[in-house]
Structure 1
């Protein structure tokens, strides 16, 4: 079958156009797109965004998170940045030269309005004497560490109840590790009043997470 020359040119043009459409990279705000679509600038999407394939995170990769600000913008949290924001922070306090093993009120200076602080581990590096009493001559003692809020900032308390340094002249050291959460990046539930009816077993009426 004979095809006119004009038809051959048309088919060739269509083939080139389809090939360009299928395999080219489109850039908005850039003349050198590196992906199928690259936008160099801000974008506003009013509908849903669906991502079909996610790249798996490897052991050597640095984790990042995406968060949405109140104005609708999306920002990334890079945990490798020591001064940037994060979902949580780990801070170790090395407290020394206290009254024997007693830390009654250490002010971290962390604003309780913006953050929540909890103790994850604690250790004391001196030998202890267990205090004897008529009621409990063979007392044992477990370390007591906790955080509390006073005057708007988080404080730390640490002690071995019913114990003291075996040698009062020695200066001991507490090593207390804390986990700090940003209140902006975590869901804050209100207080729940629990009445135990003089018992030791209770059940939440409504779980906060179902």
Structure 2
């Protein structure tokens, strides 16, 4: 019996000494190291090509697939395949996963407020404005984290009256847009050269799409000079 115990101790000694287990490799580089292709060197670390078929579990609990030095809890150097799943049917509680193009890291998309939705929709009902004009309406939406796009609008006075111009009897087209100022999105809405026909203040309804900037790519400004012509073209924006 004593002899058997001694023999067992000698068998366990390598694992107790190095605390590493190698499968198909005599030189494990982590707590658990599987060399799927049996192509790793007898000693030393495998090359990048040799690691392509390796799986490791490190002492910090990280899992590497295709790499022996994972930098996250789970890292793979290849593609992943997800099976089909039932539709969410608009159910809440789901987040969007995004990839850092520099590190390859996957994360849940969110803002500082914890909002994890890509697209958000909001309607601003702005009442009792100065005639028909909104010059600087602060939405307090962080312009560094979101892009605000106006998708539609309507205007009406308190008694349903219209607009007029005291000089010509007409008014200029509607001028409405969102702009950034002091780190937030602002709204401007106005009928330039026009005023309410009945002299009453009006109300704007402004429909806005708010997009998480994680998914936005700014292509800058494309400037063209048509030289007085009504026709022209531009080069495709860089980055598309």
TM-score (normalizing by structure 1): 0.62
Residues 1:124 and 1:47: Cα distance change in structure 2 (over 3 Å): same
1:173 corresponding residue in structure 2: 203
Quick one: structure 1 residues 54 and 76, their matched pair in 2 at CA, closer, same or farther if it must change by over 3 Å? farther
Asked if 2 retains the 8 angstrom alpha-carbon contact of 1:130 and 1:141, the reply is: no
Alignment of 1:103-182 (within 5 A): 103-126=134-157, 127-133=161-167, 137=168, 139=170, 142-168=173-199, 170-182=200-212
Partner Cα distance (2:192, 2:119) in 1: 30
**Greater mean alpha carbon deviation, residues 62-71 or residues 91-100:** 62-71
**CA deviation map 1:115-165 (0-9, x unaligned):** 2222111111221232143xxx45255432111223343221111233322
1:56 & 1:203 partners in 2: Cα distance?
46
Residue matched to 1:85: 116
Unaligned runs of 5+ in 1: 1-41
CA distance in 2, matches of 1:150, 1:52: 43
Kindly tell me the number of residue pairs found equivalent between the two proteins. Answer: 163
Indicate if the aligned counterparts of 2:146 and 2:212 stay in contact, CA closer than 8 A: yes
Q: Does 1:195 align with 2:229?
A: no
Given that 1:128 and 1:163 are in contact with CA atoms closer than 8 Å, whether structure 2 keeps it comes out as: no
1:51 matches 2:85: no
Greater displacement, 51-60 / 181-190: 51-60
Greater displacement, 119-128 / 197-206: 197-206
* TM-score, normalised relative to structure 2: 0.56
C-alpha deviation, 1:56, in angstroms: 5.5
Deviation at 1:93, TM superposition (A): 1.4
**Separation in structure 2 between the aligned mates of residue 109 and residue 59 of structure 1, nearest angstrom:** 31
Distance in 2 between residues matched to 1:138 and 1:199, nearest whole Å: 31
Partner of 1:74: 106
- How far is 1:51 from its partner? 1.4
Question: Contact 2:95 / 2:116 at 8 angstroms: preserved in 1?
Answer: no
Shift of 1:179: 1.4
Structure 2: which 5+ runs fail to align? 1-71
1:20 — aligned with what?
A: none
The answer on whether the counterparts of 2:171 and 2:191 sit within 8 Å (CA) in structure 1 is no
